[in-house]
Amino acid sequence: MHSNLILRCVSAVCFTVLFAGAAPTVQAQGGEPQYFAIRGAKVFPVSGPPVEFGTIVISRGLITANGMDIAIPPEAWVIEGKGLTVYPGLIDSFTDVGIPAAPPASSEGAPRRSQEAARGPEDRPFSTPWRSAADDVSLSDKRIEAWRSAGFTTVVSAPKGGIFPGQAAMLDLAGERAGDLVVKSPVAIPVAFQTSGGFGGGFPSSILGVLAYVHQVWLDTEWSTKAQARYEKNPRSVARPRYDRTEAALADALEDHALVLIPANNSVQLRRALELVDRWHVNGAIYGGQMAYEVAPEIATKKLPVIVNLKWPEAEKDADPEDKLSLRTLQFRDRAPSSPAALAKAGVKFAFYSGGITAPRDTLKAAKKSIDAGLAPDAALRAMTLSAAEIFGVADRLSSIENGKIANLVVTDGDLFEEKTKIKMVFVDGHRFEVREPEKPKDPPKGDITGKWQLAYTTPEGPEESTADLTMDKDGTISGTVTGKRGAASVISGYLSVDKFSFTINITLDQGPTDVTFSGTFDGTSLKGSISVLGLSLDFTAVKPGAASRAMVKPGGAQ
């Protein structure tokens, strides 16, 4: 379901429903003090050994005392820690949580229109490095609460879209206004090797073209930086250097010691990334890294950090079971979760990011797979906390339980990586958030709704379609994405109870973030129900792609 569709429906059917909504604040429960003490809990500082009966004192957003036999200030709200475990807040090391979608192509500053062919690198196609996550962050993103409820207090967030989509910032997931979320900016310059045929079939239309373009951008940036410095020293009788927005933005970010994030997942890409860092003369890091089990020692030689994608490779939903896969593909699926252990053994600093995972709690499940594949649990915890902070240059202020650091904490009732463990509360910048359990189905599900579904519905302007890619847990909880012409939206809550389903996404309309709920019945092969948004209701049906055509084929292949 995409925002353009909803806007058309609302405009055509019920214009008076629209209203201007203020962006919500992302803050803790009201009426609480600025001082807390968690007493007698098991504490994992990460920067030191665990403490069995530790106490942590939080004062005005900072950790001011921690350890055993700690004096508790009389003004502190005391939380009894018996049976609880406290960890530093988790970091998702590369995401777009909190960042709205890129502006449309016709907007000022966006890449040139697709029908106009780019003539070469000088046209700066697919590049908006002046976009900043710190400037774009929006409190209205419902994923902020979802990620925080899963134990993530901090994210490295960046705009998406293009070869140089924008600058990443380190964001804490709480605040009364958008600026409160920013811990440090910029921390990284992501690069994506986009090869979508260029603009109008123009440059760059191949991976070689993209690499040549990126290399030229770095050369131009280096030249313009030097030229500008020389001009500032002696501006008389010298033509001033040409201003280029891409070069200026990249030069400023590099001056702030931002990492250049290079995509590389298989062994060929990983070895290429090692060469590119030398060729580009940048302070780089790799993101992807799922085949690092083959090249970890080589990465260690270059001392390059790796941000590992926890969306492990797996078979496509509804894939033909008769398809024959190569041995290498099967090995990759089997061995990818062992890459973090290989990196740890080689001495490579690494962190984790959610990648394509849409339900943030699944990120911990994916990390557990790396533990099952040989990674030490304390190394997995470090990858989601202190190692991530070290890689992005913020270890002096967060991601371990030490005096003077930002009070970002996760409080659980057991081992963080065990499936049955529940997150009881989260502290972000010293503000306490109780974690509410998502709505669960009242009765066991009848069947499995997992798979890709083609949704069909009719609006006042005619027939429309979207795709729902859903995953269901054993208890009936639904996660996934719904994708339309304007992009994808994550399922923020959902379940299947017997044959009744309901799942909700959140999209941004003119009046602000809006929940869109899909509900109805599931008969094992199809979905039927209604789409509810802003008081409106649209009937829809859904089948798995190809189901209709397969139903028309009789046994034996006769039509």
Question: Does residue 284 carry a pLDDT above 90?
Answer: yes
24-33, 44-53, 148-157, 249-258 — which is least confidently predicted?
Answer: 24-33
CA nearest to 401, candidates 379, 385, 384: 385
Question: Does residue 364 carry a pLDDT above 80?
Answer: yes
Distances (CA, A) of 167 to 213, 260, 295, 531: 18, 10, 28, 36
As given in the structure block, the two tokens for residue 180 are: 């409160």
Examine residue 322 and state whether it is found in any structural domain, yes or no. Answer: yes
pLDDT recorded at residue 458? 85
Backbone phi, then psi, for 528, in 5-degree steps?
-150, 130
User: What CATH number should be reported for the domain holding residue 67?
Assistant: 2.30.40.10
pLDDT recorded at residue 552? 42
Query: Is the same domain home to 295 and 365?
Result: yes
Range of the domain at 136: 90-247
Query: Is the same domain home to 60 and 72?
Result: yes
pLDDT recorded at residue 422? 94
User: What CATH number should be reported for the domain holding residue 536?
Assistant: 2.40.128.120
pLDDT recorded at residue 6? 45
Query: Is the same domain home to 149 and 240?
Result: yes
Examine residue 253 and state whether it is found in any structural domain, yes or no. Answer: no
Question: Does residue 21 carry a pLDDT above 80?
Answer: no
pLDDT recorded at residue 204? 80
The count of C-alpha atoms lying within 13 angstroms of the C-alpha of 230, restricted to the half-sphere facing its C-beta, is: 11
Q: Summarize the confidence of residues 435-455 as an average pLDDT.
A: 84
Examine residue 252 and state whether it is found in any structural domain, yes or no. Answer: no
Helix (H, G, I), strand (E, B) or coil at 298: helix
Query: Is the same domain home to 113 and 239?
Result: yes
Q: Are 90 and 152 in contact (CB under 8 A)?
A: yes
For the sheet with 259-264, list strands across it: 90-95, 152-157, 168-172, 182-190, 259-264, 284-288, 306-309, 350-353
pLDDT recorded at residue 316? 78
Examine residue 310 and state whether it is found in any structural domain, yes or no. Answer: yes
Q: Summarize the confidence of residues 527-536 as an average pLDDT.
A: 87
Question: Does residue 543 carry a pLDDT above 90?
Answer: yes
More confident residue, 20 or 477: 477
Q: Summarize the confidence of residues 101-121 as an average pLDDT.
A: 45
Q: What is the rounded CA–CA span in Å between residue 51 and residue 400?
A: 13
Question: Would you give the DSSP letter of residue 511?
Answer: T
Question: Does residue 394 carry a pLDDT above 60?
Answer: yes
23-35 pLDDT, tens digit per residue, is 344 445 445 678 9
Q: Summarize the confidence of residues 134-151 as an average pLDDT.
A: 93
Question: Does residue 417 carry a pLDDT above 80?
Answer: yes
Query: Is the same domain home to 179 and 279?
Result: no
Question: Does residue 131 carry a pLDDT above 90?
Answer: yes
> pLDDT grade, residue 527 (50/70/90)?
very high
pLDDT recorded at residue 324? 83
Helix (H, G, I), strand (E, B) or coil at 18: coil
Q: Which residue has the tokens 């958008």?
A: 178
Examine residue 273 and state whether it is found in any structural domain, yes or no. Answer: yes
Question: Does residue 218 carry a pLDDT above 90?
Answer: yes
Q: Kindly give the pairing relationship between strand 487-497 and strand 90-95.
A: unpaired
Share of the chain above pLDDT 90, in %: 64
Q: What is the tally of structural domains in the chain?
A: 4
Query: Is the same domain home to 326 and 380?
Result: yes
Residues 6 or more apart whose Cβ sits within 8 Å of residue 61: 34, 406, 407, 429, 430, 431
> pLDDT grade, residue 197 (50/70/90)?
low
Query: Is the same domain home to 274 and 296?
Result: yes
User: What CATH number should be reported for the domain holding residue 305?
Assistant: 3.20.20.140
384-393, 454-463, 495-504 — which is least confidently predicted?
Answer: 454-463
Distances (CA, A) of 280 to 28, 218, 261, 527: 44, 7, 12, 51
Examine residue 554 and state whether it is found in any structural domain, yes or no. Answer: no
Q: Are 461 and 476 in contact (CB under 8 A)?
A: no
477-514 pLDDT, tens digit per residue, is 898 889 886 667 888 889 999 999 999 887 766 555 67
pLDDT recorded at residue 406? 98
290-304, 416-430, 452-466 — which is least confidently predicted?
Answer: 452-466
Q: What is the rounded CA–CA span in Å between residue 538 and residue 10?
A: 11
pLDDT recorded at residue 32? 66
Examine residue 456 and state whether it is found in any structural domain, yes or no. Answer: yes
* Mean of pLDDT over the chain: 86
Q: Summarize the confidence of residues 130-147 as an average pLDDT.
A: 93
Query: Is the same domain home to 454 and 376?
Result: no
> pLDDT grade, residue 115 (50/70/90)?
very low
Query: Is the same domain home to 174 and 295?
Result: no
77-93 pLDDT, tens digit per residue, is 999 999 999 999 999 99
Share of the chain above pLDDT 70, in %: 83
Query: Is the same domain home to 323 and 370?
Result: yes
Residue-wise DSSP of 368-410 = HHHHHTT--HHHHHHHTTHHHHHHTT-TTTSSS--TTSB--EE
84-88, 131-135, 253-257, 322-326 — which is least confidently predicted?
Answer: 322-326
Query: Is the same domain home to 129 and 234?
Result: yes
420-441 pLDDT, tens digit per residue, is 999 999 999 999 998 877 666 7
Question: Would you give the DSSP letter of residue 81?
Answer: -
pTM: 0.80
Question: Does residue 16 carry a pLDDT above 80?
Answer: no
As given in the structure block, the two tokens for residue 96 are: 């777009």
More confident residue, 427 or 209: 427
Examine residue 361 and state whether it is found in any structural domain, yes or no. Answer: yes
Query: Is the same domain home to 60 and 172?
Result: no
